[in-house]
Structure 1
Amino acid sequence: MNGHESWKPLEISPESVGCAPGAEALVGYLAGIDLTALLTAEKALVFRGFGVRPETLDPVMDLLLPRRLAYVHGNSPRTKVGRNVYTSTEYPARYTISMHNELSYAASWPARLLFFCQIAAETGGATPVVDAALWLDSLDPQLRADFAGGLRYQQNLHDGMGLGKSWRETFETDSRDEVEEFLADSGADWQWTVDGLRVSQLRPATTRHPVTGAEVWFNQADQWHPAGLDDEIAKVMTQVMAQDELPQSVTFADGSPIPDEYVTQIRDRGLAAAIDVDWRVGDLLLIDNVLTAHGRRPYTGDRRILVAMSD
């Protein structure tokens, strides 16, 4: 396991860094450190006890995420609530969201993700995080060998009425020309249909961190494959619709099916190796989106976690 099986996020508090509580003090601390080096070394940082509030979040976010990105080509439902700030995935509270690196199915992805707890759940609702190199190491050698050729992801994005997200929601534009330019730049194949837009793209199963060189598991095979779904409605949908008609699906790069047992192994071992970050109001979690994958535990009561990302 290369010694990283004991990894956990670094927790930073006013006491641990010798400053007063408050967003202003956190801004001062962040301005005086090499955040990139710290995040690369630790993979994930939890800022706890600073008392950050929604109205004091922006100055903190500007230092943690120097260039905030729009959630373009994102496949999960969420609401935009500020300047490239979104709600976390609006998926029913009773379901687990399995481990994944944000936009790992796309041609480009954010380098960092930031989560902010505005409302903590009554019970549950932790954000599990996992060392993505440890996740890769945990998988059986035959599975890793079979994934070495990469994956093909397919999306069917409707034109305003249908299952899943529309192409307008996915690309945050009403312009077909802008969508086509984005897809051409990403190397994807696409086709406009009577119902909307079909997108197909080949992607590797792993990637390497640009600084450390660490190889990590970096795909969303289990989230795009019916065997990885807990949602009963989604399971029924896969039974009554052809794979080519589903809102999203995945195969090996050559089009051959990915075995169900591979998908459950990927999902279950990622979750088993994860460390839960339990939320308190005002907490922030910053992760390196290549070195660290994340998910969500089920919860009860209200929960509002805001998310933003940066290159």
Structure 2
Amino acid sequence: MLTNTNTKIEIQPFSENVGRKIINTENASILEINKEEVINLFKSYGFLLFRGFETDVNTFAEFSNSLSNGFMDYTGGAINRRIINEDGTILTVNDFKDEMKLHGEMYYIKKPPQIVWFFCANPPLKDGETTICDGEQFFHELSNSMKDLLRRKKLKFPGRLKKEDWQNKYKTNDLNVVKEICESQGREVQINEDESIDFKFICSAIHKSRTEQKDVFINSLLQAKKVNPKSVCFDDDSEITDEIMSELNEIAEKITIEINWQKGDILMIDNTRIMHGRRAFYDDQRDIYVRLCFPAFPF
């Protein structure tokens, strides 16, 4: 049992090896539960869903503050996010309703966040489940030939932004500032005569988890190929074929866990091990917030 000063809280598994639900059964305050026990569960199981607590956006901020630091403001991020709080660290998840394939958050920059927090301000009427996948299990499911390929070749994510697009994304009119931000994120940048920019980012598809230093398949490949299938390639410019993507997408569906949101839910994800995504939805009710950060504890 996970305890606070006065009450007991039920813990339920998502699966044997990954994910735990922390269920409030006796009107406990999420701000009073034992942080060391939360940290130990998080390190062991990769993601935690806190459910049944009385929460709002301020509680979400206070609780995530108690376990995290180094909050990011999403400068240069891939999609549009509406800012919720004054310091720009609580954001809406996005501005569209399509499916999002499994991905590691911001694995198109050199130093992605290590923790991703979600808060359900309002669930969808139906669909719109957040999808979760254990990158350690994903790596284990890869064929030996795929493991060999992904160890030999890195992924290359190229892109181009027109002037008005980078001005909006990076919130500046200064190309030197944009170049400095991109280079600090590990992106190579070329400035064109029309003041558009070309950039590319190269990284491995396989990383080491922070907690156990095991091989993890975690990256942005599946979502990037969905959005712009012809642009993403290997670092030697060879094609990432349909056959490769078919194996990866089949594994993803085989081991995906779905989060069916309830109002007030808080989700804590280890972004060095766990990929996440989202099923498509069709109503305007879904309102999920996100915070990107680093742990305030040894990780």
Sort the TM-score into its range (normalised by shorter chain). 0.7 to 0.9
Q: C-alpha deviations, 1:38-78, integer Å up to 9, x for none?
A: 31111000000002022433212212433321112321222
What letter is aligned with 1:20?
Answer: N
What TM-score does the superposition give when structure 1 sets the normalisation length?
A: 0.81
Q: 1:111 pairs with 110, 114, 122, which one? A: 114
Counterpart mapping for 1:1-311 below 5 A: 6-15=16-25, 20-21=27-28, 25-30=29-34, 32-33=35-36, 35-82=38-85, 83=87, 84-92=89-97, 95-148=98-151, 149-160=153-164, 166-193=165-192, 194=194, 196-225=196-225, 228-229=226-227, 249-301=231-283, 302-311=285-294
When structure 1 is superposed on structure 2, of 298-307 and 171-180 the one drifting more is 171-180
What letter is aligned with 1:11?
Answer: K
**SS at the partner of 1:105?**
coil
Give the superposition deviation at 1:156: 0.8
Q: C-alpha deviations, 1:98-142, integer Å up to 9, x for none?
A: 111101122110000000001111111111111111112222222
Q: C-alpha deviations, 1:207-249, integer Å up to 9, x for none?
A: 1023310110122222222xx35xxxx7xxx7xxxx5xxxxx2
Q: Once superposed, what is the RMSD of the aligned Cα atoms?
A: 2.2
Q: C-alpha deviations, 1:68-101, integer Å up to 9, x for none?
A: 2111232122222223111112222xx3211111
Count of matched residue pairs: 276
**CA pair 259-114 structure 1, distance change in 2 beyond 3 A:** same
| Alignment-derived partner of residue 163 in structure 1 | none
Runs (4+) of structure 1 exceeding 4 A deviation are none
User: Is this contact kept in 2: 1:150–1:252, CA < 8 A?
Assistant: yes
Quote the Cα distance in structure 2 between the aligned partners of 1:308 and 1:223.
20
Quote the Cα distance in structure 2 between the aligned partners of 1:169 and 1:214.
38
User: Is this contact kept in 2: 1:147–1:252, CA < 8 A?
Assistant: no
User: Is this contact kept in 1: 2:104–2:219, CA < 8 A?
Assistant: yes
Quote the Cα distance in structure 2 between the aligned partners of 1:186 and 1:79.
22
**CA pair 36-175 structure 1, distance change in 2 beyond 3 A:** farther
When structure 1 is superposed on structure 2, of 264-273 and 109-118 the one drifting more is 264-273
User: Is this contact kept in 2: 1:88–1:306, CA < 8 A?
Assistant: yes
**CA pair 42-172 structure 1, distance change in 2 beyond 3 A:** farther
Q: C-alpha deviations, 1:271-299, integer Å up to 9, x for none?
A: 33111111000001000001111010122
What TM-score does the superposition give when structure 2 sets the normalisation length?
A: 0.84
**CA pair 13-300 structure 1, distance change in 2 beyond 3 A:** same
**SS at the partner of 2:84?**
strand
Give the superposition deviation at 1:195: 5.3
**SS at the partner of 2:69?**
coil
**SS at the partner of 2:36?**
coil
What letter is aligned with 1:185?
Answer: S
When structure 1 is superposed on structure 2, of 130-139 and 168-177 the one drifting more is 168-177
**SS at the partner of 1:201?**
strand
When structure 1 is superposed on structure 2, of 45-54 and 61-70 the one drifting more is 61-70
